[in-house]
Every structure is written in C-alpha cells, then in structure tokens.
Structure 1
Amino acid sequence: MDKEYKAKVFKSGNSLALRLPKELGLKEGSTMVLREEQSGYHFEPEDAPKKKLDVDKFWGKAKGMIHVPQPREDFEPRPSSLKAKP
C-alpha cells in the first residue's frame, strides 16, 4: 500500500513553493523534475550530472615535466620591437 503525505504550498517571493515532509528522504539542495499528468502531478529526482575532471588539484605535479614557453609564430613582431634590436 502506498503511503500518503501532505505538503503545504506557500508563497516564496513571486513564486509558489511546495514544502515536502522530511520523511520522503530527499536531500537538501537536490533538484526534482515535476511532470503534469492527466491524473495529477508526478515528481522524481533529476538525473545526476556527469562529473567533470578538475585538473586544478594535480596541476604541476607531473615530475620531470618542465614547461618551456615556445616562441609564437602566428603573428609578425611589432615594428617597435624590431627597432629596439641592435
């Protein structure tokens, strides 16, 4: 047998919000998808987004690799820098 819960609708800013009971086991900040069906409304948790690789944690940790800047060849040097060279 399905359990029945009551939820309260209230105004939040210019929107309406639905306060759900804690017994549902939803996590704070989770996103839900709400669908309107002929028999009423149906909601379910949104699929979790795929995690992206964060390279900030291991940037510069590769031993033996030295970053040597390469000269850029995709543009001409400025005329003022040509005059400065002897």
Structure 2
Amino acid sequence: MGKEYRAKSFKSGNSVAIRMPAALGIEPDREWTIVENDGEFVVRAVGEQRRKFNIGKVAGSATGLVPLKPEDRLFESRPLRWDLLDGSEPA
C-alpha cells in the first residue's frame, strides 16, 4: 500500500470538493471517476488527457496560399454512382 495523505472537504458552489495534495503529482484539469462502495470511495483517472490544439502555432504558417480563381472552380461532369441507381448505363 502507498503513502497515506489527509485531505479536508469543502464547499465549492453547489458541490463538495476535496483538495488533492500536491505531493500526489496530479495535474490540473484531469478527469476522474469516483466509485462509492459502502462508504468507501475509489478515485481513478480517466484515460489519457487529450492534447489541446494550439492554433497560435499554425496561424500564418501557410503563407503561399492564394484564393482560387473562378475558372479553377469549374469541373467537367462525370457519372456518379447515385446517378446510376435507376439501372441505366453511364453516358
């Protein structure tokens, strides 16, 4: 069994919270599951934390992009699968 720590519960909004000791090395904003069994609580971390995407590192990095010209937006028509649902052959 590991080292034992003491913590005190306190009111936080409409909930009751328990401050976890820093010595446990728990990072902030982590998600947890709590299971109550006959008055004992088991606390477990939920999976890996999702990495947050930092748009600041990407913004402005694609400097060679230019808007499409109207003539580049034209496409030749071609038969599509859903056009052939009536059993006809492609033109």
Question: Aligned Cα RMSD in Å?
Answer: 3.4
Name the counterpart of 1:68. 69
Instruction: Quote the sequence identity (%).
Output: 28
Unmatched tracts of structure 2, length 5 or more? 75-91
Give CA-to-partner distance per residue, 1:27-53, whole Å, 9 cap, x none.
122222212235721112221255587
Q: Taking structure 1 as reference, are residues 68 and 34 closer, same or farther at Cα in structure 2, changes over 3 Å only?
A: farther
Residues 38 and 59 from structure 1, CA distance in 2 versus in 1: closer, same or farther, beyond 3 angstroms? farther
Alignment correspondent of 2:89 = none
- Distance verdict in 2 for CA 1:42–1:68, change over 3 Å: farther
Rounded Cα–Cα distance in structure 2 between residues aligned with 1:43 and 1:3: 15
How many residue pairs get matched? Answer: 71
In the other structure, the counterpart of 2:20 is 20
Question: Shift in Å at residue 68 of structure 1?
Answer: 3.3
